[in-house]
Amino acid sequence: MREFWINFKKSVTLEKMMVRIIMAWLLTAVMFCLKSQYVFNSAAFAAEINIAMYLCFVLLFLIIFCALGYLKVFSWMEAYGPMILVTLYGMITIKTDSELAYLIGLLAFLGIAVVYAVNKTKTFADIKKKGTVAIIYVIAAAFYMGIAGTTTVLRYVNYSSPAFDFGIWAQMFHNMRDSFQPVTTVERERLLSHFAVHFSPIYYIYLPIYFIFPYPATLQVLQVITLASGIIPVYLLCRKFNLSKSATAAFGVIFALFPVLATGCYYDLHENCFLVPLLLWLFYFIEKDDLKGMIVMSVLTVLVKEDAPMYIACIGLYVIIGKRKYVKGAIMLIFGVAYFLTVMIFMQRYGLGVMSYRYENYMVGDGGGLMDVIRNFISNPAYVLSECFKEKKYQFIIYMLVPLGFIPAATKKVSKFILLLPIIIINLATDYVYQYSIYFQYAFGTLAILTYLAISNYAELSEKARRFMCALAICAAVIVMPVAGLSKSYYIDSYIYNRGNIKILNEVMESIPKDASVSASTFFIAHLSDRKELYSYPTIHEENIAADYLVLDLRYDGLTAADRSFILMNGYEKVSEVDGLYALYCKKTE
């Protein structure tokens, strides 16, 4: 009995009591957050709470923690407890307040909890078997594909994917399957090759699978698989940098939890998804000094889009200065610049030109172009910096660095910052809001670069710094998951609730003859994509086109005066209608 009391007193130090009180308080806060009908950032939240009951729960949990403190196994839980509970509390509350200020404050407290855990332990996890690492990677990839795949497929199934851009891809792949040509009528209200708008031959890689499964949902699934495949070069890079099995496993989890990997999918398929695996493979071959691999990945990367050569040119510059592989780096740099100029000239002459309007903040007057952008970068760097670091871009910067524990910035090698050039040019310098948003595809290339920097920089850090940054990365990724990876989970509820309406809409779309031309509301386009003539109504670039059939989406708005005028002027008669759902019209036959 005396021995028991001696051991018990050892477990009840001032420091341990403070930690247990904080844990008891946090656990109570988590419980009441889940129970309350009010949101935490409202005065009504505290008013609803019975403070006596609240304190009783704090005391109850404190007593439990003190009793468990006698057990040796609890020392591990006590070290990690504050970190885990801050993460859990943040994950629950951030759904209510996703403002950047709250996230930064939350991360400050998380950082303190992680520091405590690092100081109280010698290692977070000691994985000794390769098989365990493989299992963790498979689970991580499956977790990501389950979330992103379910969300994007249900987005299409729920009639929530718009004509721009998923309707374009759906019709383009239908035409590629029939004629091998990437043509569409949706994009510019006339038959036009998509390559006149964006030069993306990489899409042909998907065509063999689309031949077998010719459905728009196939494209959503292929994008998710493409992104998930990036976990393979992540593993190989970790092994190349001689990271421990535990660190290798951690980076697999960090990659799968990275918000942009999921949120970048939520505006449907885009060719940018190829950048994640291709750039990671390219970095692996650079580290391996494999010239053939570097050439193959460089060629495939430039085929992604007209601006993709910029990644190759900047990485080539890094290879010259940072890796001191002058010939290989020069080949990449020259190839990237030459390909970019060639495609730009080609698109100006035969296509619709490059989208320089996305950098209008560097242009004076209506006649500006890419030369104005280059001129500003060279002669007015102060203005470029002010554009890159405007307050509205802080959220993008934080959401890209926090899930990697700021490791991409933790280096003494100045040459590595060359790899930030594509991020500055593509994401930060522009005033085009979608390019600096984590909810669109433009962050995929950035994700690949930052992942490489995180892995390579991690290898240079001290053991304590490694554990701190790795733990911060995983916990931060979990915290932002509700407003990032899980932000579109409502598509599941929408599908369950609207299955009846979805069935009706599917039957209506199937009832329209395949050889008829159709004008349709934006969310109906992808479901009508298996035809030659298809137009979005109302159109964006030209006058509305009077096709054989007109299908209007009534789920959000009823018929407008403009709709009625268009129907009357073009001799449409109603075929069927469900109030609040759809209206189908057909041109009168003479």
pLDDT of residue 93: 86
Cα dihedral 343/346/349/350 (nearest 10): -110
pLDDT(529) > 60: yes
Half-sphere exposure for 185 (CA within 13 Å, toward CB): 21
pLDDT(356) > 80: no
pLDDT(38) > 70: no
pLDDT(35) > 90: no
Top mean-pLDDT range of 46-50, 102-106, 233-237, 243-247: 233-237
Q: Is 156 exposed, middle or buried (0-12, 13-18, 19+ CB in 10 A)?
A: buried
Cα→Cα distances 504→144, 161, 215, 509, Å? 31, 17, 19, 9
Strand 192-193, strand 518-520: pairing = unpaired
Closest CA to 104 of 92, 90, 118: 90
pLDDT of residue 8: 56
Strand-pairing partners, residue 576, are 584
pLDDT tens for 216-245 read 999 999 999 999 999 999 999 999 999 999
Structure tokens of 101?
A: 């200020």
Residue with tokens 């992942």: 451
The residue count for the chain: 590
Top mean-pLDDT range of 27-41, 66-80, 194-208: 194-208
292-311 mean pLDDT: 96
Q: In the structure, what pLDDT confidence band is assigned to residue 554 with cuts at 50, 70 and 90?
A: very high
8 A C-beta contact, residue 241 and residue 455: yes
pLDDT of residue 352: 84
The per-residue DSSP string of 144-199 comes to HHHHHHHHHHHHHHTT---IIIIIHHHHHHHHHHHHS--EESTTTSS-EEGGGTS-
pLDDT of residue 415: 93
pLDDT(368) > 70: no
pLDDT of residue 43: 73
168-177 mean pLDDT: 96
DSSP state of 100: H
Cα→Cα distances 430→122, 189, 197, 347, 353, Å? 45, 28, 19, 21, 18
pLDDT of residue 11: 60
8 A C-beta contact, residue 533 and residue 547: yes
pLDDT(70) > 80: no
SS3 35: helix
pLDDT(4) > 60: no
pLDDT of residue 535: 95
Give every CB contact of residue 5 below 8 A, 6+ residues apart in sequence.
none
Bigger pLDDT: 70 vs 548:
548
Structure tokens of 83?
A: 């970190």
User: Cis before residue 493, ω within 30 degrees of 0?
Assistant: no
8 A C-beta contact, residue 391 and residue 365: no
pLDDT of residue 1: 54
pLDDT(92) > 70: yes
pLDDT of residue 373: 83
DSSP state of 98: -
pLDDT(71) > 90: no
pLDDT(42) > 80: no
8 A C-beta contact, residue 457 and residue 407: yes
pLDDT tens for 488-524 read 888 999 999 999 999 999 999 999 999 999 999 999 9
pLDDT of residue 6: 57
H or E element, residue 552: strand 549-553
- What does the alpha-carbon distance between residue 221 and residue 219 come to, in Å, rounded to a whole number? 5
Q: In the structure, what pLDDT confidence band is assigned to residue 48 with cuts at 50, 70 and 90?
A: confident
12-20 mean pLDDT: 82
Bigger pLDDT: 352 vs 565:
565
Cα→Cα distances 211→163, 167, 177, 262, Å? 22, 18, 6, 26
Bigger pLDDT: 100 vs 209:
209
Structure tokens of 131?
A: 């098989």
Q: Is 145 exposed, middle or buried (0-12, 13-18, 19+ CB in 10 A)?
A: middle
Q: In the structure, what pLDDT confidence band is assigned to residue 257 with cuts at 50, 70 and 90?
A: very high
8 A C-beta contact, residue 169 and residue 244: no
Axis-axis angle for helices 444-458, 394-401 (nearest 10) = 50
H or E element, residue 319: helix 309-321
285-296 mean pLDDT: 96
DSSP state of 13: -
Phi, psi at 390, each rounded to 5°: -70, 155
Phi, psi at 164, each rounded to 5°: -100, 100
pLDDT of residue 495: 95
Q: How far is CA 581 from the centre of its chain?
A: 31
SS3 71: coil
pLDDT tens for 107-163 read 999 999 999 988 887 777 778 888 999 999 999 999 999 999 999 999 999 999 999
pLDDT of residue 484: 81
Indicate the average pLDDT of the chain. Answer: 90
Cβ count near 462 (within 10 Å):
8
The pLDDT > 90 percentage for the chain reads 67
pTM: 0.93
pLDDT of residue 168: 96
Strand-pairing partners, residue 550, are 519, 585
- What does the alpha-carbon distance between residue 423 and residue 425 come to, in Å, rounded to a whole number? 6
pLDDT tens for 325-351 read 999 999 999 999 999 999 999 988 888
The per-residue DSSP string of 333-380 comes to HHHHHHHHHHHHHHHHHHSS---GGGGGGG--STT--HHHHHHHHHH-
Where would I find the H helices in 164-308?
168-179, 207-212, 216-228, 231-240, 245-257, 259-263, 275-288, 291-302
